Amino acid sequence: MPNYKIADIRFSYSFGSQELAERLLPYQCADSFAGIDLTLNESDTLDQRNYLTSGVLCEGVALCRKFSDRLTERFGGVLFHSAAVCVGRRAFLFAAPSGVGKTTHLRLLRARYGDRVRVINGDKPILRAVDDRMMVYGSPWQGKENDGENISALLAAVFILCRAQENDCRRISCYEALPFLVRQAAMPDSRNGKRGAMEFLDKMAAAADFFLLGAI
Amino acid sequence: MKLKEGYMLTGFADKYIALATDDNADNAKAIVTLNRTGAFAWKLLETEITYEEAIGRLTEKYDAPEEALRADFNEFLETLRQHGLLDE
């Protein structure tokens, strides 16, 4: 069974879908240490089958969910729905529900900053608190644009995107940001998992600056 | 009276927040921000308690005039009612 490493978490997994296996190829590692076992069982995939017909999507979503749950329950991290970019060693998140403008902002950032900006992940980067540092990692779940790479950087700021009458950016408190953070963080179903996610958001509040970015 | 099931209290920055642990809870999107006193009152309401029992616990805990504590507690209960978090 091949071994993989995402956000410095090792796991073993055997794919049913070749397409998914190729998407995880950048995360394959040669270590013999197997790490956690993320083999999917019937109950992992059952929920996804209710609303997804594609087998590839089903397996991808189920694996994402299982990894995300373990990440939050055991490894002090969350999968955070946002576009993550880095400039040098510092990472910036652009968080918004689908359709509000994450992809547009990535395009604008690339146009403005060129090669200085790198996309860590266009849809679901992984955040982890490692040795008191808040790190942003790439993940294979890169959204419909499949934008991102297997790199990491230190979290500096979170921009919450919203539609507005005019272009505007203002700093907000972590309390004002909280409802958005709760909405964008992948929450496990279990009570312990949710507590782990909230403990993580508490650390995130201390580590990052938050901004509300309104765009026409 | 008692808080509805399916919510949890957790620390966030310098405050406490209460949020749903069950996506199917009546008010799953509600996030209530509490200060230290609010968090103490929240914990009181996690088990069945009468209004007067709660006031008694608050007067034991805090060195403040009872009338002021009653006013603050009434306001707190009203906030919980507005969010649909209280079973009475």
In this predicted model, what pLDDT tens digit does every residue of A173-216 receive, in sequence order? 999 999 899 999 998 988 889 999 999 999 999 999 999 999 88
Choose the final residue of a domain: A24, A40, A75.
A75
Which segment of A51-65, A108-122, A152-166, A177-191 scores lowest on mean pLDDT? Answer: A51-65
Under an 8 A CB cutoff, do B31 and A178 touch? yes
Q: Which residues of B touch A178 (CB under 8 A)?
A: 12, 17, 31, 33
Q: Are residues A158 and A84 in the same domain?
A: yes
Q: Are residues A36 and A115 in the same domain?
A: no
Q: What is the pLDDT of residue A144?
A: 83
Of residues B78 and B29, more confidence is placed in: B78
- The torsion angle over the Cα atoms of residues A17, A20, A26 and A31, rounded to 10 degrees, is -50
For residue B8, give the nearest of A178, A182, A194 by CB distance.
A194
Q: Are residues A193 and A121 in the same domain?
A: yes
Residue A30 domain boundaries:
3-75
Q: What is the pLDDT of residue A47?
A: 61
Residue A168: left (phi > 0), alpha (psi -120 to 50), or beta?
Answer: beta
Q: What is the pLDDT of residue A40?
A: 78
Q: Are residues A128 and A166 in the same domain?
A: yes
Q: Are residues A146 and A203 in the same domain?
A: yes
Rounded-to-integer distance, Cα A38 and Cα A137, Å: 19
Q: What is the pLDDT of residue A12?
A: 83
Q: Are residues A16 and A117 in the same domain?
A: no
Number of domains chain A is built from = 2
Q: Are residues A117 and A180 in the same domain?
A: yes
**Predicted confidence (pLDDT) per residue in A33-52, tens digit:** 667 888 777 777 666 555 45
Asked if A205 is an interface residue toward chain B (Cβ–Cβ < 8 A), one would say yes
Closest CA to B34 of A187, A186, A178, A194: A178
Q: What is the pLDDT of residue B62?
A: 94
The angle subtended at Cα A99 by Cα A18 and Cα A103, nearest 5°, is 65
Q: Are residues A56 and A116 in the same domain?
A: no
**Which band of pLDDT confidence, cut at 50, 70 and 90, is reported for residue A8?**
very high
Q: Are residues A112 and A59 in the same domain?
A: no
Choose the final residue of a domain: A21, A41, A75.
A75
Query: The domain that contains A206 carries what CATH number?
Result: 3.90.228.20
Q: Are residues A132 and A48 in the same domain?
A: no
Choose the final residue of a domain: A75, A106, A135.
A75
Q: Are residues A35 and A50 in the same domain?
A: yes
Q: How many Cβ contacts (< 8 angstroms) between chains A and B?
A: 34
Confidence check: pLDDT of A57 > 70: no
Q: Are residues A162 and A55 in the same domain?
A: no
Percent residues over pLDDT 70 in chain A: 92
